[in-house]
Structure 1
Amino acid sequence: MHVRIGVIRSQKEIEVELDPDSEMETVKKAITAGLASGEMLWLTDHRGREVGVPAASVAYVELDPSASGRSIGFGS
């Protein structure tokens, strides 16, 4: 599952590739709880890397359950 987070006052987005077996509802609940806390939104990618974004800086969150995790071209 692919998560894209828009950050306030930034043109760049934060992209996190979660474990492909992640459940959409579980991810939504974790994101909602992180944003509701008003502190940090923490996500762990499929390699175990933890990504934190201050909740006050989150403009939007986009979930793509169909993302394959493989990119073609110059993407990272």
Structure 2
Amino acid sequence: MMKEATVVIRCKNDEDVFNCLSSIDEDVEIIVVLNDNPDLKKRLESQGVICLISPPGNLSIVSNIGFDAATTDKVII
């Protein structure tokens, strides 16, 4: 069944992303856009999170990466 909304989290390399994830109590698609960090990416993907890598420093580019990957019409950043 397709999700009704997507949550895009701009993360960089912050471990607090796990606190953010635990606060989501809806059945939504979750996309985390982060800087290249293979360990963090692996841990997030093991929880069913879609992870995308972005260049550092430009929130517009990071947001657009998440928007482009979303499979729903409703996107929350």
Common topology (TM > 0.5): no
Determine which structure has the larger strand proportion and give its number.
Answer: 1
Instruction: Please report the TM-score for the alignment, with normalisation by the length of structure 2.
Output: 0.31
Task: Pick the structure with greater CA Rg.
Answer: 1
Instruction: Please report the TM-score for the alignment, with normalisation by the length of structure 1.
Output: 0.31
